Structure 1
Amino acid sequence: MYGEWKRAVRVTLVAGLALLGGCTTYVQTQVAAFSDWSGSDATRTYAFARSAQQQNSIEQKTYEALAANELATHSFKQVPDASAHYRVELSYSIRGDMVTVRQPVYYDPWPMYGGWYGRPYGWGGYGPWGGWDMGPAGYVDQSYPIFVHSLQIRMTERDSGREVYKVSASNSGGESSLVRAMPYLIRSALADFPLDNGTVRTVKIPLDKNGGASNEAPVAVGTNGKATAPAPVPAPAPVPVQ
């Protein structure tokens, strides 16, 4: 029962807390896209547009560099604003929250005998089939901090101001730094560009052995729970994080 509970909790945490403390092998991101895209490769020139608060932001420049690397894999070329066909706007946020998980409690009332005698009372007493019942002695609620990371990428035509593409990506977990989450958000948001209008899906990006984004392509999980096969997308340039 304890093993089954551990597996169930692990599945839950992998699905909902994708960046929690190294317990997963991938990052799972929720993506939603709205599209009126009709551009060709010849018109895929762009410049980043910034809000007043973003004008002199080093953080903004860092995220723009990540986005530029990913956009380049879809034939986008960054040019001066005056000659750009599109403007690309980035908006992002991070917020903290708490999650509570109910965990079983196991104790040994006879610790002086060690593991050889088992855990008779702490494990629920003598069972009906001639062995000790392996149930927990009780349950306790444990609370953990989680952080929700969000990104929106908006594309408009520079001349007309018409919105042609908007995609939002979000994931959550124990990672308290937005800069560490941003490569996964950007890769997930722009994977398989352009998505159909009204697309909602989950994208999984594997971690490499050092905990960073691997070179494997993002995998989109369909509504039937099965993975779809996207075109290979190179990983963005790594961002040094202290």
Structure 2
Amino acid sequence: MKIDRWTRRAALLLATLTVLLSGCTTYVTTQVTAFSDWSGNDATRTYAFTRAADQQNNLELTTYERLVGNELATHAFRQVDASEARYLVGLSYGIRSDMVTVAEPVYYNPWPSPYWGRPFDPWGPWGPGGPFPTAYVNQSYPIFTHLLGVRITERASGKEVYNVTARNSGGESSLVRAMPYLARSALADFPLGNGVVHTVKIPVDKSGGTSNEVATTGAAPAATPASGAKVVQ
């Protein structure tokens, strides 16, 4: 009877934890750095995308331009033919992989429960080690850094007026899946001041896509002047 009572309590505890965890929101956190000499207004926000000669038939770039174009539209930008555009918008992007090593605990359980969880888990939810860490082992995991740069220049003069870079890192190995968060973060609160660095947090919705909610924090001036800004390839 005591075993049954403890089993029921454990089941209720696990059910409660499941409900609580299901209500948690996962965020994608992106660092954004902007350099700006912006003086445009809504009436003159016409633009066209510009590409290097070897990018003319790049389907990947077309996909990313569409995402950035959607975000530009929320700031009253209107895409037109290049010959009519006041601004030219160029994109740069990339992904880099690294390995990180984390020390993870090895657990020991002084009170094994041979009846809990049979037949699948006779030692309880912690495994044979139990809930008390006695040692640590190093585990290595891949981490991926995703990057998007958006550079806006005046078509007539070639003058750079806005240069923003968005960067985030995590376990996502696909740049395509990371790009909606990068595009939205890069153009959040447009136009940012010159030399501003801040963090943008975007929640992931239940289907795994971007949410409409955007939170920005921690704006701070950067040390590098706008004239020294470069788009990272």
Cα deviation digits, residues 190-220 of structure 1 (max 9, x gap): 001000000001000011011110122x110
Structure 1's 209 and 112: CA in aligned 2 closer, same or farther, altered over 3 A? Answer: closer
Measured in 2, the distance between the counterparts of 1:150 and 1:117 equals 45
The match for 2:206 is: 209
- Secondary structure of the corresponding residue to residue 169 of structure 2: strand
Shift of 1:135: 4.4
Distance (whole Å) between structure 2 residues aligned to residue 100 and residue 61 of structure 1: 36
CA distance in structure 1 between the aligned counterparts of 2:140 and 2:154, rounded to whole angstroms: 46
Matched, 1:136 2:133: yes
Residues 144 and 46 of structure 1: CA distance in aligned 2, closer, same or farther (over 3 Å)? same
Cα displacement (A) at 1:117? 10
Give the corresponding residue for 1:232: none
TM-score (norm 1): 0.72
1:199 aligns with 2:196: yes
Q: Partner residue of 2:10?
A: none
Structure with max Cα Rg: 2
Q: Are the equivalent residues in 1 in contact too, given 2:197–2:218 (CA < 8 A)?
A: no
CA distance in 2 between partners of 1:65 and 1:55 (Å): 15
Other-structure match for 2:55:
54
Distance apart, 1:76 and its partner CA: 0.3
8 Å contact 2:112–2:123 — kept in the other structure?
A: no
The SS at the match of 1:106 is strand
RMSD of aligned alpha carbons: 2.6
Where 2:216 maps in the other structure, the secondary structure is: strand
Residue 169 of structure 2: aligned partner: 172
SS in 1 for 2:66: helix
**Aligned pair 1:182/2:179, yes or no?**
yes
Give every structure 1 segment of 4 or more consecutive aligned residues whose post-TM-superposition deviation is greater than 6 Å: 115-119
Q: How far, CA to CA, are the matches of 2:46 and 2:114 in structure 1?
A: 74
1:111, distance to aligned residue in structure 2 (A): 5.2
Q: Which moved more, 1:134-143 or 1:51-60?
A: 134-143
Gaps of 5+ in 2: 1-23, 117-121, 221-233
Q: Secondary structure at the match of 1:137?
A: strand
In 1: Cα distance, 2:71 partner to 2:113 partner: 60
Instruction: Choose which of 152, 164, 181 in structure 1 pairs with 2:149.
Output: 152
Which ranges of structure 1 fall in alignment gaps of 5 or more residues? 1-22, 124-133, 225-242
